[in-house]
């Protein structure tokens, strides 16, 4: 089976017989909040009974956190579960995706035999969403996925522009699914999130998850927000029973109370992102202006030649795993994404990258790994 995401330390571990330093998955390097760890551990004592299928306590906590009614919240086994459910619930015939963007949207759409139109973001324009994108919303489009900030670029779209898209979708009867899983890492998330505007739109669905900010990737917990009662009922109808485990529900409730942890994370990762971006730029890489907890960059040319896929293999040989963006539509294996870790790990990455570039000078004819 071909895996399409970062974080596959298992395959890397098999190859190198030891644990790699993983920069391929965008997880909070500070780990889970201590209160969430304790709550999940305590919940293990209750695993002899089924979890609440309606996630009532968790939805109540999310309602207070997001400032919307609990009835407008649906929980799932990570954001990926809800991506597949929104496609199953809306049965789109034709969907619109950016290129590049998160691969899970395409996978879910293909599983439902939905045809896909792609809007290529241009490298020459810095992969920024242009105003012309609005014109791609035609009556044939039933569903649009928008990752904000986008994955893998980390470049966000202002909420005024997202609301324009939502207005157009509303008028055309199409659904707009906005993935805000990385929005919590933005400096001013209120300038980008459309959650406060949910009541205005019946065709708007917002995705969020505990995976990134709260480092709960292994527990699998995500949620969606929508004001359309009919869509919420269809989302419930296509879910598996007990799709969210008891430990995940309890950890989620506890994590929402860890406000100091979240603020500290944002402050630390902002500083480390800026330092890491500057270091990559100084090494000669093309670095794009991410505002998330990951950086998107392109390998540099050596003597006018760009060997695609080379950097991934060079770093893997040094026990460092980065995310090749070769499987993103519109990109190739010269593009990479790395998460922002804590200073010690970030400095190790830069040291190894520096050594890789020095070795290239002495061994310029390493085999192309594309």
- For the packed helices 343-362 and 259-282, what is the interaxial angle rounded to 10 degrees? 20
Assigned token pair, 30: 């500070």
Name beta bridge partners: 226: 205
What pLDDT does 276 receive?
98
| CA 8 centroid distance within chain | 15
What pLDDT does 368 receive?
43
Helical spans, DSSP H, in the chain? 9-16, 34-43, 56-66, 78-90, 103-111, 159-172, 229-237, 246-256, 259-282, 310-316, 343-362
- ∠ CA 171-173-175, rounded to 5°: 110
For residue 329, count other CB atoms closer than 10 A to its CB: 15
Tell how strand 175-179 and strand 143-147 pair up.
parallel
Taking CA atoms, 171 is separated from 166, 176, 203, 219, 267, in Å, by 9, 12, 9, 38, 40
Residue partners of 242: CB distance under 8 A and separation at least 6: 50, 51, 53
Local structure of residue 356 (DSSP, 8 states): H
- CA dist 76 and 53 (Å) reads 10
What pLDDT does 364 receive?
64
**pLDDT tens digit at each of 370 positions of the chain:** 445 555 555 455 555 556 899 999 999 999 999 999 999 999 999 999 999 999 999 999 999 999 999 999 999 999 999 999 999 999 999 999 999 999 999 999 999 999 999 999 999 999 999 999 999 999 999 999 999 999 999 999 999 999 999 999 999 999 999 999 999 999 899 999 999 999 999 999 999 999 999 999 999 999 999 999 999 999 999 999 999 999 999 999 999 999 999 999 999 999 999 999 999 999 999 999 999 999 999 998 876 667 788 999 999 999 999 999 999 999 999 999 999 999 999 999 999 999 999 998 877 655 444 3
199 with 227: CB under 8 angstroms?
yes
């Amino acid at each position: 089976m071909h895996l399409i995401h970062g974080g596959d330390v298992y395959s890397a571990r098999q190859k190198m017989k030891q644990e790699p330093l993983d920069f391929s998955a965008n997880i909070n390097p500070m780990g889970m909040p201590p209160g969430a760890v304790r709550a999940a551990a305590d919940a293990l004592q209750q695993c002899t009974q089924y979890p609440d299928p309606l996630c009532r306590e968790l939805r109540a906590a999310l309602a207070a956190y997001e400032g919307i009614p609990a009835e407008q919240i649906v929980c799932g086994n990570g954001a990926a579960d809800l991506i597949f459910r929104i496609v199953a619930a809306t049965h789109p015939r034709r969907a619109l995706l950016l290129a590049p963007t998160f691969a899970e949207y395409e996978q879910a759409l293909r599983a439902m035999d939905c045809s896909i139109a792609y809007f290529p973001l241009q490298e020459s324009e810095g992969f920024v969403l242009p105003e012309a994108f609005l014109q791609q919303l035609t009556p044939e489009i039933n569903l649009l996925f928008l990752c904000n900030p986008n994955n893998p670029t980390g470049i966000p779209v202002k909420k005024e522009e997202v609301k324009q898209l939502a207005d157009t979708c509303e008028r055309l009867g199409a659904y707009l699914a906005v993935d805000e899983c990385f929005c919590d890492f933005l400096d001013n998330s209120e300038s980008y999130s459309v959650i406060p505007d949910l009541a205005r739109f019946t065709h708007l669905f917002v995705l969020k998850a505990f995976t990134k900010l709260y480092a709960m990737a292994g527990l699998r917990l995500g949620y969606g927000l929508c004001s359309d009662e009919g869509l919420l009922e269809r989302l419930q109808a296509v879910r598996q029973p007990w799709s969210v485990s008891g430990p995940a529900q309890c950890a989620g409730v506890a994590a929402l109370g860890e406000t100091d942890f979240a603020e500290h994370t944002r402050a630390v990762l902002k500083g480390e992102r800026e330092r890491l971006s500057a270091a990559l730029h100084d090494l000669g890489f093309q670095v794009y202006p991410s505002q998330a907890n990951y950086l998107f960059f392109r390998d540099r040319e050596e003597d006018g030649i760009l060997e695609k896929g080379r950097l991934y293999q060079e770093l893997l040989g040094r026990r460092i795993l980065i995310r090749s963006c070769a499987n993103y539509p519109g990109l190739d294996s010269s593009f990479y994404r790395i998460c922002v870790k804590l200073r010690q790990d970030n400095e190790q990455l830069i040291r190894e990258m520096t050594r890789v570039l020095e070795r290239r000078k002495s061994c310029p004819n390493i085999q192309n790994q594309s």
